[in-house]
């Protein structure tokens, strides 16, 4: 173990000597824990991190140095695919290519799951959250079952056994509970060898005057380095070597909180592969011009995500001759990368990624050693964003999908009335209701009277009946006619594997 004297010298070099100010009061265990934590912090990196955080915070409060409006162009049509605008034959071609790659074991999914879920109001990883579905399933369970199903579909189409490895990037906060949760649930029928969990780096939270914050007398306040910490984590944990050993060529990266995410989406994978893309992004049409989401576009001919705050309202509201918004490609943190591109990023470009400022309420100990839970933001967490590598792509593409089919994030508690458990649950149940109606099901009330169909129900509305379909039965609405066509069904209705077998025989 590194000695107290050496740690003191390092902290002095970094300008952070205050981190040991309660040393005399600590028990031996607390001292050992603090020394272990501080030993991981390089003094030069710590000094630069704290200085950079304070300077970036000042800049953030002053607003952007320049607006990007005059330098922006939308995604060029030849680099934009669309579920909505493409003909069935083209969609089928893309999907077939995606299944072909999956069947050859060339596709992996990578989950970004390092966040703490504080806005949701829980103390455990978001993936373990239940939004109140009739089945009681968590986000992790839904995602695992979608992987199982897409493996089955690809295997059947190509008469082979195949696997889609699931890489899960956790943080210091989420690794242990996530590992335990998967073990308790027998990895949701997946092969444990194909579920690879790894940890992203943590960075100290910093006060507005550039000092690392003590969370307790014996602990520095640490935070994950953002979803863009992925690229350092891939190196730290030798993940790209693991992918190469398994023969993985294409990686589908997504965030844990989207209840509608299509795991290893064959359509998206196939589109990107046939376009020869090294990097791709799923996008959704913005719900309204001033929706506060980043848009995928070009700046000086280079693709990036431009945040709502970086442009004027007039630019956000610009429309083309057809009346469509010019900057309409809303980013949903759902990406395609080739393994070769990720290797290039980690080898050459990761140090060039910009750090972004997040102003947060960070619990701390005051000068007298009392724990304080601040009522207003008091600290800076520095984060990198996963999409900031778009600029390094040699062949970038965007793929527009339908929001009501593929995007409903879980970010807030129900008090927010937006991106919350209620909206996520409604989005999934509305989707499953649409699938059932499309497959020919008829829902009936307690008297056996048919309930009028509402096939246009979108994710923001309550469907007229409760209908949940297990991903183990249908990945994305396919094959349901065998169980539901011309059947009279009572609500609530859960179509799981057992129910599907009964309906098939009926």
The DSSP line for 431-496 is HHHHHHHHTT-EEE-TTSPBPPP-TT--TTS--SS-EEE-TTT-SSSTTTHHHHTT-EEESSEEE-
106 in a structural domain: yes
Residues 103 and 56 in one domain: no
pLDDT in tens, 413-428: 988 889 999 999 999 9
pLDDT in tens, 286-303: 989 999 899 999 999 999
In contact, 115 and 386? CB cutoff 8 Å:
no
Q: Does the predicted model carry a pTM greater than 0.75?
A: yes
390 SS3 class: helix
Distance set, CA 307 to CA 297, 312, 320 (Å): 10, 11, 20
**Dihedral (CA of 359, 361, 365, 370) sign:** positive
Please name which of 179, 336, 339, 168 lies closest in space to residue 237, comparing C-alpha atoms: 168
Q: Please give the pLDDT value at position 292.
A: 87
Average pLDDT over residues 246-250: 98
Q: What is the mean pLDDT of the chain?
A: 93
Of the candidates 40, 62, 84, which is a domain's last residue? Answer: 62
In contact, 111 and 252? CB cutoff 8 Å:
no
Q: Please give the pLDDT value at position 6.
A: 93
**Residue recorded with tokens 């969370």:** 215
Pair of tokens at residue 279: 């990097």
3-state SS, one letter per residue, for 228-281: HHHHHHHHHCCHHHHHHHHCCCEEEEEECCECCCCCCCHHHHHHHHHCCCCEEE
Give the H or E element holding residue 152: helix 139-157
Of the candidates 411, 442, 458, which is a domain's last residue? Answer: 411
Q: Please give the pLDDT value at position 474.
A: 97
Residues 286 and 405 in one domain: yes
**Dihedral (CA of 97, 100, 104, 105) sign:** positive
Using only C-alpha atoms, the chain has a radius of gyration, in whole angstroms, of 24
Residues 120 and 99 in one domain: yes
Residues 103 and 28 in one domain: no
Pair of tokens at residue 90: 């083209």
**Would you give the end-to-end CA distance of the chain in angstroms?**
68
81 in a structural domain: yes
Average pLDDT over residues 129-137: 96
**Does residue 457 carry a pLDDT above 80?**
no
Residues 88 and 53 in one domain: no
Residues 132 and 42 in one domain: no
Q: Please give the pLDDT value at position 57.
A: 85
Distance CA 502, CA 505 (A): 5
Q: In the chain, how many H helices and how many E strands?
A: 15, 24
**Percent of the residues in the chain that have a pLDDT greater than 70, as a whole number:** 97
113 in a structural domain: yes
Of the candidates 391, 411, 431, which is a domain's last residue? Answer: 411
For residue 160, count CB atoms less than 10 angstroms from its CB and return exposed for 0-12, middle for 13-18, buried for 19 or more.
exposed
Q: Please give the pLDDT value at position 458.
A: 58
Distance CA 115, CA 126 (A): 8
Distance CA 134, CA 114 (A): 27
Residues 175 and 33 in one domain: no
pLDDT in tens, 16-74: 999 999 999 999 999 999 999 999 999 999 999 999 999 888 877 766 556 788 899 99
Q: Please give the pLDDT value at position 506.
A: 66
**Does residue 429 carry a pLDDT above 90?**
yes
Phi-psi region of 197 (alpha: psi -120 to 50; beta: other; left: phi over 0): beta
Q: Lowest mean pLDDT of 218-222, 247-251, 450-454, 467-471, name the range.
A: 450-454
What length does the chain have? Answer: 506
If pLDDT is split at 50, 70 and 90, which confidence band does 387 have?
A: very high
For residue 29, count CB atoms less than 10 angstroms from its CB and return exposed for 0-12, middle for 13-18, buried for 19 or more.
exposed
Cα 242-244-245 angle, rounded to 5 deg: 65
Q: Please give the pLDDT value at position 69.
A: 85
Q: Please give the pLDDT value at position 456.
A: 62
Residues 362 and 391 in one domain: yes
416 in a structural domain: no
The residues, ordered by sequence, that sit 6+ positions from 139 with a Cβ below 8 Å of its Cβ are 126, 127, 128, 129, 131, 256, 257, 259, 410
Residues 54 and 197 in one domain: no
Q: Phi, psi at residue 269, to the nearest 5°?
A: -60, -45
Q: How many distinct structural domains can be found in the chain?
A: 3
103 in a structural domain: yes
Residues 20 and 105 in one domain: no
In contact, 342 and 240? CB cutoff 8 Å:
yes
Distance CA 12, CA 65 (A): 33
**Percent of the residues in the chain that have a pLDDT greater than 90, as a whole number:** 80
pLDDT in tens, 337-365: 999 999 999 999 999 998 889 898 999 99
- Give the domain range for residue 224: 69-411
**Does residue 105 carry a pLDDT above 90?**
yes
243 in a structural domain: yes
If pLDDT is split at 50, 70 and 90, which confidence band does 130 have?
A: very high
CATH of the domain at 488: 2.10.10.100
232 in a structural domain: yes
Residues 200 and 346 in one domain: yes
Average pLDDT over residues 320-333: 93
334 in a structural domain: yes
Pair of tokens at residue 154: 């690809």
Residues 229 and 332 in one domain: yes
CATH of the domain at 222: 3.90.550.10
């Amino acid at each position: 173990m590194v000695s107290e004297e050496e740690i003191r010298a390092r902290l002095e070099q970094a300008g952070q000597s205050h981190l040991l100010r309660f040393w005399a009061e600590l028990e031996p265990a607390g001292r050992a824990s603090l020394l272990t934590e501080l030993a991981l912090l390089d003094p030069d990196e710590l000094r630069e991190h704290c200085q950079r955080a304070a300077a970036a915070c000042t800049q953030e409060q002053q607003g952007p140095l320049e607006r990007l409006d005059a330098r922006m162009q939308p995604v060029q049509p030849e680099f934009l695919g669309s579920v909505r605008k493409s003909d069935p034959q083209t969609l089928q071609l893309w999907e077939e290519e995606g299944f072909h790659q999956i069947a050859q074991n060339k596709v992996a999914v990578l989950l970004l799951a390092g966040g703490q879920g504080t806005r949701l109001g829980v103390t455990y990883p978001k993936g373990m959250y239940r939004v109140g579905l009739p089945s009681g399933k968590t986000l992790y369970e839904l995602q695992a079952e979608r992987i199982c199903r897409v493996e089955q579909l690809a295997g059947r189409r190509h008469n082979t056994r195949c696997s889609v490895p699931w890489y899960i990037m956790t943080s210091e906060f989420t690794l242990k509970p996530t590992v335990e949760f998967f073990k308790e649930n027998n990895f949701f029928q997946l092969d444990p060898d194909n579920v690879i969990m790894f940890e992203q780096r943590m960075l100290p939270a910093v006060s507005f005057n550039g000092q690392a914050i003590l969370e307790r007398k014996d602990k520095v306040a640490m935070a994950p380095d953002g979803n863009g910490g992925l690229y350092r984590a891939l190196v730290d944990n030798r993940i790209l070597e693991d992918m190469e050993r398994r023969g993985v060529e294409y990686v589908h990266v997504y965030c844990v909180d989207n209840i509608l995410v299509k795991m290893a989406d064959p359509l998206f994978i196939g589109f990107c592969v046939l376009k020869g893309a090294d990097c791709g992004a799923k996008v959704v049409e913005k719900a309204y011009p001033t929706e506060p989401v980043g848009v995928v576009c070009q700046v000086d001919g280079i693709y990036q995500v431009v945040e709502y705050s970086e442009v004027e309202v007039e630019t956000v509201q610009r429309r083309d001759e057809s009346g469509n918004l010019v900057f309409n490609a809303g980013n949903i943190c759902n990406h395609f990368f080739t393994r070769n591109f990720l290797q290039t990023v980690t080898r050459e470009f990761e140090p060039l990624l910009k750090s972004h400022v997040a102003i947060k309420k960070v619990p701390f100990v005051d000068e007298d050693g009392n724990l304080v839970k601040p009522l207003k933001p008091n600290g800076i967490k520095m984060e990198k964003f996963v999409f900031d590598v778009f600029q390094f792509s040699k062949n970038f593409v965007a793929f527009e999908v339908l929001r009501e089919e593929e995007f409903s994030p879980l970010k807030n508690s129900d008090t927010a009335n937006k991106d919350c458990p209620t909206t996520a649950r409604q989005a999934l149940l509305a989707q499953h209701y649409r699938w059932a109606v499309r497959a020919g099901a008829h829902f009936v009330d307690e008297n056996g009277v048919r309930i009028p169909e509402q096939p246009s129900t979108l994710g923001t509305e309550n469907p007229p009946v409760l209908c949940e379909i297990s991903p183990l039965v249908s990945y994305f609405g396919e094959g349901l006619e065998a169980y539901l066509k011309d059947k009279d069904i009572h609500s609530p209705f859960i179509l799981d594997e057992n129910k599907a077998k009964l309906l098939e025989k009926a």
